[in-house]
């Protein structure tokens, strides 16, 4: 056998060894790919289970969306006549950075839910424990939301409203006869009084 024949034979043997290595590596790659896919499937199944649980919990939370189509329910729970009024009130806070009383931001409830919670407490006099149960949050979160939005409502509505109240002089010029006994009247506010729990008690 010549040197060329020997080298040719060696190359053929090396090719067989390399081919075997390629087959082994291909098999290992398939096995690794199936392990990766199994791990991905497990992670995805876990994520789906978490999302289903979140959807289930959200279904149990008392949301404005669940009553907004019925004006009677909106009025009953918020004191506002309909969802359009609620949405208009909510839009007043679009450009406002709300500073929470307890110095921590409420992430569990969005602004719509926070305003709904506040109006619900004002209208129905619900306890913090009741609201915490309805909205699936802690009592401290309810207190933080309620006090914060109460101050925000005061700032946006009352302070902005007072900017547009005419002066006493202008009011006297246009005062109806039924108010002649009250010449210093500038504005009439209709309010409802009810007892509520002290959030710090």
Whether residue 124 sits in one domain with residue 92: yes
Q: Is 201 a domain residue?
A: no
Whether residue 68 sits in one domain with residue 50: no
Nearest alpha carbon to residue 136 among 59, 199, 78, 66 = 59
Q: Are 115 and 106 in contact (CB under 8 A)?
A: no
pLDDT (tens digit per residue) in 70-129: 999 999 999 999 999 999 999 989 888 888 999 888 988 999 999 999 999 999 999 999
Of 10, 36, 60, the domain-final residue: 60
- The pLDDT of residue 80 is 93
Q: Is 192 a domain residue?
A: no
Q: Are 135 and 113 in contact (CB under 8 A)?
A: yes
**Can you list the residues of the chain whose pLDDT is less than 70?**
1, 4-5, 8, 54-60, 192-201
**How far does CA 21 lie from the centroid of its chain?**
56
Report d(CA 50, CA 56) in Å as an integer.
Answer: 10
């Amino acid at each position: 056998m010549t040197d060329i024949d020997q080298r040719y034979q060696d190359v053929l043997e090396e090719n067989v060894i390399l081919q075997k290595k390629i087959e082994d590596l291909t098999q290992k790659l398939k096995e690794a790919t199936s392990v990766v896919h199994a791990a991905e499937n497990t992670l995805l199944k876990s994520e789906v289970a978490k999302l289903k649980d979140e959807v289930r919990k959200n279904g149990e939370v008392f949301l404005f969306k669940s009553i907004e189509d019925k004006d009677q329910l909106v009025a009953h729970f918020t004191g506002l006549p309909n969802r359009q009024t609620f949405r208009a009130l909510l839009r007043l806070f679009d450009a406002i950075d709300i500073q929470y009383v307890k110095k921590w931001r409420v992430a569990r409830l969005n602004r719509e839910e926070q305003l709904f919670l506040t109006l619900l407490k004002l209208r129905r006099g619900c306890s913090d424990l009741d609201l915490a149960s309805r909205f699936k949050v802690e009592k401290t979160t309810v207190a933080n939301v309620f006090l914060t939005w109460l101050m925000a409502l005061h700032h946006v509505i009352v302070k902005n409203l007072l900017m547009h109240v005419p002066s006493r002089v202008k009011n006297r010029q246009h005062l109806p006869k039924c108010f002649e006994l009250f010449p210093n009247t500038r504005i009439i506010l209709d309010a409802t009084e009810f007892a509520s729990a002290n959030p710090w008690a």
